[in-house]
Structures are given as structure tokens and as C-alpha cells.
Amino acid sequence: MNIKFDKNLLNTLLKYFIRGVLLTVPFLLTSYIVSIAINWLDNIVKINIPGLGIIITITAITLFGYLGSSLIVSSVFVEVEKFVIKLPLVNLIYTSVKDLIAAFVGNKKKFDAPVLLAVNLVPKIQQLGFITQSDLASLDLPGNVAVYVPQSYSFSGELYIVSKDIVQPLHHVTGTEVMKFIISGGVTALHPPTKHDMRQSSGKSPSSTT
């Protein structure tokens, strides 16, 4: 039996399938990652009520933040931190994790100064990255900056020590937009900053600019 397929029908079905993939896969993948995070947090507090673990964990962290704002508790945290920093291996892990978290959510954010880095001049090849240190005098490298270049579809990246004259600041986009653009492999569209973003960027500390 010969079965004839309508090419127009197949193309239409293929378009619907691709559209379905674009609609469902990001949602399902995001839901899967979120569910893993919730289950992990639920396992911290062994209570047989789904979602209660994450509520208790978030509440506890918020409570620690509130207590840490008081002078007495804050001084206790400072003393404990001083002790932790004196431990050789623990010091490396603790300070690295603390600085990494502060780079994303702290008052000293490091990924809010997107730049174009010229990695090759002839032919000219550039990469998107973020200035993480604009003063490297402690390394005896005046006139140089530290640029972190994330990798697409990955949480890894490379740190480059380069001269300031091959770094081009990108003032017309936000760090968040550039990070999404890099992680997506250049697929995510870049949008101009809103007035709110411009107000935030105007309040950057001197350490985040060239």
C-alpha cells in the first residue's frame, strides 16, 4: 500500500511541534529545577508536608538576617567569622563562597559592569564579560583590570587580567541583560535599559567602573 504524505501538512505539523517545544521545554525544565531545589530544601527540615521545608528555611535565613542587624548578634557573627578565617582550608571555602554570593546579591555587586573585551586584535575578536576588579595595584599591575567572562550554557567561565585600553564599557545595557545574553549563547535579545535600571546604574560604586 502506497501512502502519500501532504508536504504542506507535514510542514504545518512540524511548525506546531517546534512551537510546542519552545512553549513547553523551558517551562518544564524550569519547573524541574525548581522542584529539585524545593525537595532539597524540604529534606533539610524533615517534615512530611511538601513546601514546608522551604518556608522554614527562608524564614530562618530571614531571621538570621534580622538578628545580624543588631549590634550584639552582629559582633558575635564577626568573632565567629574571624575564627573561621583562621582555619586554612575552611578559610578558602568560606571566603570564596561569601564573595561569590555577595557578587550577585550583596551591596558590592560585581556583575553590574558589562564590557567588551578584545581577545584578538587581528582579526578582531571580542568577548562579553564583567569587570570584577578595576584596581589591581595589590598585584603590582597598574593600568590593568580583572574581567570575568562567563561561558554560554554553563556556570563556568574565565578570568582575564587585561589592560584597560582593550576593554570597552557597555553603558547602554544592564549587567542582567548581558549575563542572560551570554548564558543563552547570544540567543536572548538585548533590551535597552529602563528608567529604573538607569537610576540603579547611576548609583554604582567607583570599584565597578573603569
Looking at 66, 86, 106, which one is the last position of a domain? 86
**DSSP string computed for 123-139:** TTEEEEEEEEES--GGG
CA distance 204 to 136: 19
Looking at 68, 86, 104, which one is the last position of a domain? 86
- Give the model confidence (pLDDT) of 190-207 as tens digits: 776 666 655 555 555 444
Burial of 40-58, coded b for 16+ CB within 10 Å and e otherwise, reads: ebbeeeeeeeeeebbebbe
Q: Among 26, 58, 17, 25, which residue's Cα sits nearest to residue 41?
A: 58
**Higher pLDDT residue, 193 or 146?**
146
- Give the model confidence (pLDDT) of 161-195 as tens digits: 999 988 999 988 888 888 888 888 887 877 766 66
Helix (H, G, I), strand (E, B) or coil at 154: coil
27 part of a folded domain: yes
Helix (H, G, I), strand (E, B) or coil at 207: helix
Together in a domain, 124 and 204: yes
Together in a domain, 71 and 152: no
Looking at 86, 101, 128, which one is the last position of a domain? 86
34 part of a folded domain: yes
CA distance 86 to 92: 10
Grid coordinates 545595557 are at which residue? 173
Full residue range of the structural domain in which residue 192 is found: 114-208
Together in a domain, 129 and 184: yes
Together in a domain, 147 and 78: no
Together in a domain, 141 and 182: yes
**Across all residues in the chain, what is the average pLDDT?**
76
What is the pTM for the complete model shown? Answer: 0.54
Q: Among 148, 135, 144, 158, which residue's Cα sits nearest to residue 206?
A: 135
